[in-house]
Structures are given as structure tokens and as C-alpha cells.
Amino acid sequence: MVFVIGEIGTNHLGDLKVAKKIIDIAKDAGCDAVKFQKKNVEKIYTKKFLDSPLDSPWGKTQREMRLHREFSLKQFEEINRYCKKKNIEWFVSCWDTESQVSMRKFKTKYNKVASAMLTHKKLLELIAKEKKYTFISTGMSTIKNIEEAIKIFKKYKCPFELMHCHSAYPMPTEEANLNMIPELRKKFKCKVGYSGHEVGATNVSIPAVMLGASSIERHITVNRTWYGHDQAASLEPQGLQRLVRDIRVIDKIQGNGKKKIWSTEIPNQKKLRQIFC
């Protein structure tokens, strides 16, 4: 069964009420989990970048905007309580070692390596040592980058799953390159999912499932017109419901690939093959 992840990221805009609403959307649609992001803004970006001008609803610099969208540990405690209440798994992709350590208190079931962090070996070591099942996104990366990351997870015997990914927001559909899903699975002998940033619910994600994607991660939101570069590549409630519905249908119709005569075929077998008697 395909594991469906609703990527909330920073689409909550720093508002817990919005975050809870998006969690509700994911739960109602039938997602298996929701995912957030956690960053130490002052550490992962340069001062020059954070001081650079940006007109946002929360200030005039990159720093003001990015700090506003970051949840504190206290806010994540509320998210943890709410997800338990709603009976849906949640986890986080951390962008720095300090954030990774701080999030251990929640004992979430999964970890996630964001595409941007695939070459951050110190962070990968920290994640792999936790030995949680880890989803590893592969956007902006070479096969060599992926190989080096996998070596770390194998070193610590940490279970993992690759996720084919393209890190444009939104992704040009013609650059989806979905044949990488079976290629990565063949090369690395592991499960391979798909983390999508395209516009639309099913035009890329459904073919990804048909090509064997074991998981699907899509950004989700209340309103795609809201502030934030992830919003345009996100699904609103109806789109998410349609995607999960179609994925569950595919789960049923693909079968096991073994030929058999079904009981529902037997009446026609008896009727239509009389000519050979």
C-alpha cells in the first residue's frame, strides 16, 4: 500500500490554527502522515541573506519572514498533541543538527532528509544514528550524491526509502523524469517514493504510483494563493482528496502480477469456449 504524506512545510504561515486546519485536511483526505520542517534560521542562512530586503506580511527582510514561519518547540508540542488526537502520524525534516537533536523529544516514527540537506553529511550521520525509518529526497542531486548518502545510512543500519524529487516550485511537468523511480529502485535495491512539486493532483503523482512509487509526498495547503513559494506547488483540499482516492484505487487494481482465472470469469469461460467442444 502506498504511503501518502501531506507535506505542510511552512504553509501554516507560522499560525497554529492554520497548521491544525491543514492537519484536518490531510486526515480527512486519508493521508498516512503529515510532515513539517524545522530550521535554525540564524545558522543555516548567511547574515547577508537574512538582512536582504523582502516585502512580506511579517516584515521587510528575509529574517523577519523566515523567523515568523518557524514553530517553537512549545508549538510543536501542541502539534504533537493534536496529531495524536486526530490519530495521524507526523514527522519533521530538520535542516540543521541542532534542530534534529531538539526534535528527538517527540519520538516521531519517521525521519526525513530534505533534498537541500542530502549532502549535509554531519546531519545525515545524526539522523542515521537514530535508526528511524527515513525518507530521503533526491532533488538537486547526482547519483554520486545519493550513493554517498546511502553509505551513511547503511553504515548505521538505518532503514531508509529514497524519494525521486525535482526541486523546482512548481516543477515543469516535462522535467518529471519518472523513469528514475524504477531506475533508482534497481540501482540501490530499495523502496523508492516520489516527492512532487508539480501543479495538479494526479497528472504526475498517479503515473509515479504506476511506476512503482512506494510513497507519495505532496505539499498541501488551505489556499494556493497564500504567501509562500511552496503554495503554488501545493494541493488544496479537493485536489488532495482526489489524489488519495485515486492512489487507493491503484492499490487495489494493480494486483500481484500473477496470472489466474478469476471466479467471475468462469461463467463466460464455460459459455464462450463451447465452440472448442
Confidence label for 236 from pLDDT (cuts 50, 70 and 90): very high
Least confident range from 29-33, 75-79, 113-117, 169-173: namely 169-173
How would residue 12 be classed by pLDDT, with cut points 50, 70 and 90? very high
**103 vs 224, more confident:** 103
On whether the CB atoms of residues 106 and 99 are closer than 8 A, the answer is: no
Half-sphere exposure of 53 (CA within 13 A, CB side): 1
The length of the chain, given as a count of residues: 277
pLDDT of residue 277 exceeding 60: no
Determine the Cα–Cα distance for residues 9 and 221; give it in Å rounded to an integer: 9
Query: Which residue has 507535506 as its cell numbers?
Result: 7
Distance linking the first and last C-alpha atoms of the chain = 43
Q: Domain residues of the chain, as ranges?
A: 3-276
* Mean pLDDT on 55-67: 94
pLDDT bin (cut points 50, 70, 90) of residue 275 is low
pLDDT class for 64, splitting at 50, 70, 90? Answer: very high
Q: Kindly indicate the confidence band of residue 242, based on its pLDDT and cuts at 50, 70 and 90.
A: very high
**Burial class for 234, CB neighbours closer than 10 Å (0-12, 13-18, 19+):** buried
Architecture of domain 3-276: Alpha-Beta Barrel (3.20)
